[in-house]
Amino acid sequence: MTTPNAQQASSYTPLDLEGVRTFLATLPAIAARLGGTPDAWRVWEVSDGNLNMVFLAEGPQGSVCLKQSLPHVRVDPSWKMPLDRTFFEAAYLRAVFPHVPDLTTECLHFDAEQFILIVPGLSGHTVMRTAMMAGHFYPSVAAQVGDFVARSTFATSLLAEPFERIMDRRICFARNQTLTRITVDLVLTDPYHDHPRNHWADQQITPIVDALRASPAVQARSDSLRLRFLSAPQALLHGDLHTGSIMTDGTDTRIIDGEFATYGPIGFDAGLFSGNLILSLFATPDRAGQALHLDMIQTFWTSFKKGFLALWQDREWAEDRSTLYYATTDKSTQNFEKSLFIQNIFQDTVGFCAAEIIRRTIGYAHVADFSVLTDPSLRTTRQKAALLFAKDCLEQKKPLKSLADFLELLYLHMSAL
């Protein structure tokens, strides 16, 4: 796929409901998937995220989801933005779908003039965050997301492919600079400084914000996470793997919304997902629900690690060994190198998890999870606890070397609730 020049899309028009119907009718394969005649299709808007317009269309035979970029942030029209994000989402789906066909959606069509992406509709699925806010917690979904991160990142890393293919893909995704800038600013920079985009719900949170900003260890770690995000192109990342980017019916789970895709450290995807599980944990009123979250965090990491190492092992057994970067035949050296690699991903995961918790509580884009707590003082207590946990993760006064260390720290912060 050639990167489009978004500024040259002169015929671009944002679609309304009737425009969606007309557009879909011009695409024979999509019209056949929906079945019947266009006037019989039900078309409705389901835009939910911060950036784009999203529509569903349903016909007698099936459904599709149509996503169109706007020339600005959907929730803030004064924040202008180029249109090319749906191009990168389409490119992401084309790169990873062959490796995770059961865990994401296929790109059925991309229109480079209108910046429209079409994927199959997911009827019967609910956004994972919405499901969790309604009290449905799924360890099986956590295992599936771990598997998704393992398969999508391994397949697009130097461990799986010749460097020439990786470099070509990096060239493509290196152009996703608008959304990479959002991540660098909103996730990894703004919360650690005074910035007009930051906000938080209650003044009682302010002393923790001040403490975060006054902590040399937090400042140093956030600086190194920013550098790591931009300078460790280990694999093609989803780039925004929060629980709003996951749809599930409890059995079938699909990761959507890969518009932030870029090459980066694998722990970024793992960290964002873990961070969102932990935000949901702190927003969960009861101990039983919290315990299920601990299961999900553990299950996610275990599934990721097991899946990643299994793929690595399979790769070593493959006949073509010419692109193996860890090709020593000495088993114990190999195992040592692999454990170091996973340990590095774990350290990144802890750091990006903490960064996600912090930015979703005091940055520009918050999570809805805490709105289930109707008592404002309980909501503040829980948000403060989440922030203090994240602060400890960044400071690591006691090193977090393993999942057990990480869970022990989490447990400590939960027991204070």
Q: Which residues make up the interface to ligand SR1 (CB under 6 A)? A: 49-51, 73, 182, 186, 240, 364-365
Q: Which does 150 bind (CB under 5 to 8 A by kind): ligand SR1, Mg ion, none?
A: none
Closest to 373 measured CA to CA, from 281, 297, 304, 301:
281
Q: Considering beta carbons, is residue 133 or 186 the nearer one to ligand SR1?
A: 186
**Are the C-beta atoms of 255 and 103 separated by less than 8 Å?**
yes
Nearer to ligand SR1, 324 or 365 (CB): 365
CB-CB neighbours of 319 under 10 Å: 5
Q: From Mg ion, ligand SR1, none, which one binds at residue 365 (CB under 5 to 8 Å depending on kind)?
A: ligand SR1
Query: Is 258 near Mg ion (CB under 5 A)?
Result: no
Q: Which is nearer to Mg ion, 128 or 350 (CB)?
A: 128
CA 268 – CA 277 distance, rounded (Å): 14
Residue 182, contacted partner among Mg ion, ligand SR1, none, CB below 5-8 A by kind: ligand SR1
Which of 364/406 has CB closer to ligand SR1?
A: 364
Shortest distance in whole angstroms from residue 287 CB to ligand SR1? 30
Task: State the residue for tokens 């079938």.
Answer: 252
How does DSSP assign 110-158, residue by residue? EETTTTEEEEE--TT-EEHHHHHHTT---HHHHHHHHHHHHHHHHHTST
Using CB under 5 A as the binding rule, the residues of this chain from 40 to 99 that contact Mg ion are 49
Q: Select the binding partner of residue 355 from Mg ion, ligand SR1, none (C-beta < 5 to 8 A, by kind).
A: none
Q: Select from 84, 89, 190, 257 the one that contacts Mg ion (CB under 5 A).
A: 257
In the complex with ligand SR1, which residue's Cβ is closer, 75 or 211?
Answer: 75
**Least separation in angstroms between CB 258 and ligand SR1:** 11
**Could you tell me the CA-to-CA distances from 68 to 20, 47, 102, 214, 220 in Å, in that order?**
10, 10, 24, 42, 39
Q: Is 79 exposed, middle or buried (0-12, 13-18, 19+ CB in 10 A)?
A: middle
Q: Which amino acid appears at position 390 of this protein?
A: A
Shortest Å, Cβ 82 to Mg ion:
17
DSSP assignments along 221-276, one per residue = HHHHHHHHHHH---EEE-S--SGGGEEE-SSSEEE--GGG-EEE-HHHHHHHHHHH
CB nearer ligand SR1, residue 141 or residue 186: 186
Q: In the bound complex, what is the minimum distance in angstroms from residue 290's beta carbon to ligand SR1?
A: 24
Burial of 2 (0-12, 13-18, 19+ CB in 10 A): exposed
CB of 176 to ligand SR1, least distance (A): 13
121 interacts with, out of ligand SR1, Mg ion, none, CB within 5 to 8 A per kind: none
Q: What CA–CA distance (Å, rounded) separates 114 from 96? A: 23
324 binds, among Mg ion, ligand SR1, none (CB under 5 to 8 A by kind): none
Taking the least distance from each CB to Mg ion, the nearer of 145 and 311 is 145
For residues 138 and 339, what is the distance between their CA atoms, to the nearest angstrom? 28
Please, what is the minimum distance in Å from the beta carbon of residue 178 to ligand SR1?
10
Single out the residue of 18, 12, 30, 19 nearest to residue 114, CA to CA.
12
Shortest approach of ligand SR1 to residue 387 CB, angstroms? Answer: 18
Of 73 and 385, nearer to ligand SR1 (C-beta) is 73
Nearest distance in Å: CB 58, ligand SR1:
25
Q: What is the CA radius of gyration of the chain?
A: 21
Q: Which two structure tokens, joined as six digits, stand for 253?
A: 């789970």
Q: Which listed option, ligand SR1, Mg ion, none, makes contact with residue 237 (CB within 5 to 8 Å by class)?
A: none
Binding site for Mg ion (CB under 5 A): 49, 257
